[in-house]
A and B are shown apart, each in its own frame.
Chain A
Amino acid sequence: DQQVKQNSPSLSVQEGRISILNCDYTNSMFDYFLWYKKYPAEGPTFLISISSIKDKNEDGRFTVFLNKSAKHLSLHIVPSQPGDSAVYFCAASAQGGSEKLVFGKGTKLTVNP
C-alpha cells in the first residue's frame, strides 16, 4: 500500500515558467513533509520542508503548499531553470519528523532552455 503517491512520473516545462510537482498521501498520522531533489548517480538532496501546522513554506524560488484536508502537497518552482532538471521526491513522516521517512516514487522534471 503506497502511502505517498506522486502520480506524474515526468513533467516538462519551459525555462522561466512555473513547475508544479504534486504529491498525495493517505496516512493521516503524517505531519511533516519534505521534498528532495536527485540528480543521476547521486544521492537525494534535501530541498524544502513543511510541517502540518503550516499551509505554505517558501525558500527562494521554491514554495511548498500543504492542503491537509485533501492530503495533498505541491512544490512550485518559479522561475524554472535548466539546472532544476532532476527527479523530485516527496517524503512524509510522523511525529514531527522523528519517525522514518516514507518516499513517493518521484517525478522527473525536465526544464527546457
Chain B
Amino acid sequence: NAGVMQNPRHLVRRRGQEARLRCSPMKGHSHVYWYRQLPEEGLKFMVYLQKENIIDESGMPKERFSAEFPKEGPSILRIQQVVRGDSAAYFCASSPVPNPETQYFGPGTRLLVL
C-alpha cells in the first residue's frame, strides 16, 4: 500500500503565477487534510476535505487559495497569483476516518515564489 503521494516535491513560481499542488491519498482513505508550514514555524491547518466536499476550510486564506477533492483523482490545492509570502512547505495528510492519529502525511511540496 503506497503512502500519501504529493507532487511536485518542489515547485518554483514567479509572483503572479498559479501554483497547483497535488495530493494522492492512501488507498481507502477518503479524508484529506492540507497544512502549510512557513519557515521556522509549525504546521498550520488549512482545509479538510472528504470526497467532493469541503468539511472545514477555516484555515484557508480568504483569497487566492482553493482546494478540491474530486470523486476521481487527487486532491488539488490551488494558489492563484502567488506572492512571496506563499513560499512554504505544503503537506497533505489522508485518513480513513476523521481521527488525527490515523492521519498519514505526505512528504510535502516545497513552494518557492521568486
Contacts and interface: CB of A to CB of B under 8 A. Distances in A.
B107 A42 contact: yes
Interface residues of A, number: 23
Contacts of A101: 43, 45, 100
A32 interface: yes
Interface string B77-95: 0000000000000010100
Interface of A: 4, 6, 32, 34, 41-46, 49, 89, 91, 93, 97-98, 100-106
A34 to B, nearest CB: 6
B105 A104 contact: no
B58 A44 contact: no
B22 to A, nearest CB: 15
11 contacts: A43-B93, A43-B104, A43-B105, A44-B91, A45-B105, A46-B102, A100-B45, A100-B48, A101-B45, A102-B45, A103-B43
B107 A43 contact: yes
B28 interface: no
B59 to A, nearest CB: 7
Given A41-B107, A44-B105, A89 B42 contact: yes
A49 B4 contact: no
Nearest to A93: B100
Interface of B: 4, 35, 40-45, 48, 56, 58-59, 91, 93, 98-108
Contact of B106 (A6, A43, A105): A43
Contacts of A6: 42
Nearest to A34: B100
Contacts of A49: 100-101
A32 B45 CA distance: 16
Contacts of B43: 44, 89, 91, 101, 103
Nearest to A49: B101
Contacts of A44: 43, 91, 105
A6 B43 CA distance: 13
A105 B105 contact: no
